[in-house]
Structure 1
Amino acid sequence: MGPNETSFGTLGSPNIDAIHSQSQPSSFGKGDQTVTDLKYRDGREVLGDDLKWNSRADGSNSTYCANTFHSLTSDLKNVVETTLFIGRRVEIKLYKLALYDKGGHFDWHRDSTHGENHHATVLVALNTSWEGGSLLLRHNGQEMSSFESDSSSESGSEHDPDSLPSLTAAAFYTDVEHKVEPITEGVRLILQYDVFVSLEQDDP
């Protein structure tokens, strides 16, 4: 890593302080504008291109990369192609890392699309502890929740940097409304991936 780069930890053991120091206030789309309104959305974020993760918690290089972005992205791609978009090829691209600490929230909204073939979102909760902050999903009059308090099974525990962390994910189409309820304690870290769907179908 270069002298001006910051280690954000690993997927299984994120460095919350480093992430917060490099983050910026979250904005959202309103019509043809991008705005910031803490009453509607109170959170912070780091864009995907700015994320830098070590492959080991001590910052050293590791030939075992099961807990790297590449492995996680590959796993997410396989799941999405066999659930949301059967028979289609998809590309999973990291859009940003969202951080919600105490009081953080995001009211009902649909995700802005980043291309004509952007048709879904995948959210991955990292191993941190929080209270509140449930993700609510709403579509065609039906509502469900995900990412309940302390949803990560390894929250607050020691994590082997050479093992694949156990992470919780939620995937949904871009026409699904969703909401992040207020965080009452702790910090909620979420990786947000855009799902782009190929116009070509896989061969049967």
Structure 2
Amino acid sequence: MADWKEQLKLALDGVVSGGNFAVTGTVDGPLPEVAVRGVGKLALPIDADQANDLIFAGLPAPYGKGAKTVLDPAVRKATQFEADRVRFSDDWDATIRRVATGAATALGVSGGGASVEAHLYKLLVYEPGGHFTAHRDTEKEPGMFGTLLVQLPVAGGHTGGELSISHQQGREEFWDTEAAAAAAAGAPAAGGGNSGATGAPAGGFQQQQQPVLQYAAFYADCEHELSQVKSGLRVVLAYNLVRVQQAAVVAAAAATTAAASGDAAAASIAGPPTANSSAPSSASAVTEAVRAWEAAASSAGAGAAVQPLVTLLLAHRYTETNLDFGMLKGDDAAKVQALLECPLLDVHLVLFTKEVSGRADMYCSDGDPEEDLEYAQEMAGMDEEYFCETEVKAWVSPLFGRLRHVGGKDALGLKLEELEDSLLGGEQVFPDDLTPDMRMYVPHTGNEGPDITYWYHRALAVVWPRSRRPMLPAAVQGCLTSA
């Protein structure tokens, strides 16, 4: 690796958000008054009679399976109430805003938690046997980036029901909901939990003398699983964590870029830089590495090639809808911010989608029972690949937002192979062991099938020195000066 490239990698390796992909904590303040249509006002801790009323009055909780919503207690067993059936006392609004702000800050959300709101999604009840197998939350509304779970106190608590949360980099956190339930009901807690966030964050849940509320928050792209509740009842308020001022965050990124490039007019229009700026030492280290990059290019002999750009593989999952500077998560946001603050760089975001189709290793036909088809949809692998295509789905500029596509799948004239060769860490964008973001099984019909298709989405930050713009493809140069 070139000295300048190693220097840039080390500079970015030192940039972290200070947050975690999953956090837990205790909600400060009085318990809310909660009323559920069809049940009435809940006494906290919830007693046995009201627990039975909740189970009777609610509906079985489904889960999303591709474009369908499915009821399958082998995958998810819980009772749910839609948000419009739940009401709170007025003081709860201020409390949940404070929790959402603190949780977002602890997660390392770009710009802190000031632009974050918690929108109630559902009230969930898990009785003995209740569970939810490993899954990722879909982003249910514009600006959603995470999930907040607030556990209500229940008399007697519950046993079991551990929530494990994992990130694609192989890290895993656990929420001991049993200990949290004991603490919430005012009983001594046995410990457990992970890193804290706000309200009264803790490395583990503390002993409580009065009923309190415990919560966990995590990014929506994290895989999580609730183990089976063994006894008692677990009652949870599930919230969507949503950025409600995304445009302001994007404008801040544009301001940083404009100010760095000396474009005072654009910087004035865009507004001030984001509050989640990288440490001065990190920004300085990035700038020094870029100067070394430029020096290497200047000193290269005739015909010697010094790569015109580098790429950084983002750790979190993004989609065509949510890839934006204002929607980056955790360390991704911190590292990209450090790049934006370098006055010598252009920084863009790009999303690639890979589609792979082949023969499935499980045989089902349209006439087979639905449960067989569902099993194949979940479990079938690929025997023989016959189609593979990679396509640019989004290209985002901090100044102009989403750029137009030029040339279809080779949008802006840059191909995956070129960007992958420029990765700072030497990774593969789509390694062989990558888990698909979506899969579709097509059963045997006539002389065709069964087939299976996988879709993968990966996001990159694409970076080049402004002095190297003439070395870039013409399509890219054109998009740097027009929307």
- Give 1:44's aligned residue: 79
1:182 aligned residue (214, 224, 228): 228
The aligned amino acid for 2:132 is F
Asked if residue 132 in structure 1 is aligned to residue 160 in structure 2, the reply is yes
Contact 2:124 / 2:237 at 8 angstroms: preserved in 1? yes
Higher normalized helix content (fraction of residues):
2
Counterpart-to-counterpart distance in 1, 2:39 and 2:53: 7
- Give 1:13's aligned residue: 45
Counterpart-to-counterpart distance in 2, 1:87 and 1:165: 33
The aligned amino acid for 2:122 is K
Deviations 1:42-77 (A, max 9, x none): 111111111135x5xxxxxxxxx65xx313322222
- The 5-angstrom pairing of residues 95-114 of structure 1 reads 95-114=121-140
Contact 1:8 / 1:52 at 8 angstroms: preserved in 2? no
Deviations 1:13-59 (A, max 9, x none): 33423322321000000010000111111111111111135x5xxxx
- Give 1:59's aligned residue: none
- Give 1:143's aligned residue: 172
| Offset of residue 83 of structure 1 | 2.2
- Give 2:143's aligned residue: 117
Could you tell me which runs of 5 or more consecutive residues in structure 1 were left unpaired when the two chains were aligned: 56-64, 158-163
- The 5-angstrom pairing of residues 26-37 of structure 1 reads 26-37=61-72
Q: TM-score, normalised by structure 2?
A: 0.35
Distance of aligned partners of 1:94 and 1:147 in 2 relative to their CA distance in 1, 3 Å threshold:
farther
| Offset of residue 189 of structure 1 | 0.7
Q: Secondary structure at the match of 1:37?
A: coil
Contact 1:147 / 1:168 at 8 angstroms: preserved in 2? no
User: How many matched pairs?
Assistant: 182
The aligned amino acid for 2:231 is E
Distance of aligned partners of 1:23 and 1:5 in 2 relative to their CA distance in 1, 3 Å threshold:
closer
1:92 aligned residue (115, 118, 123): 118
Contact 2:151 / 2:237 at 8 angstroms: preserved in 1? yes
Identity across matched positions, percent: 28
| Offset of residue 86 of structure 1 | 4.3
- The 5-angstrom pairing of residues 55-94 of structure 1 reads 55=89, 66=91, 69-84=92-107, 85-88=109-112, 89-94=115-120
Q: TM-score, normalised by structure 1?
A: 0.80
Counterpart-to-counterpart distance in 2, 1:108 and 1:115: 22
Q: Secondary structure at the match of 1:151?
A: helix
Superposed CA RMSD in Å reads 2.3
Contact 1:8 / 1:16 at 8 angstroms: preserved in 2? no
- Give 1:154's aligned residue: 184
Could you tell me which runs of 5 or more consecutive residues in structure 2 were left unpaired when the two chains were aligned: 1-36, 188-209, 253-271, 276-483
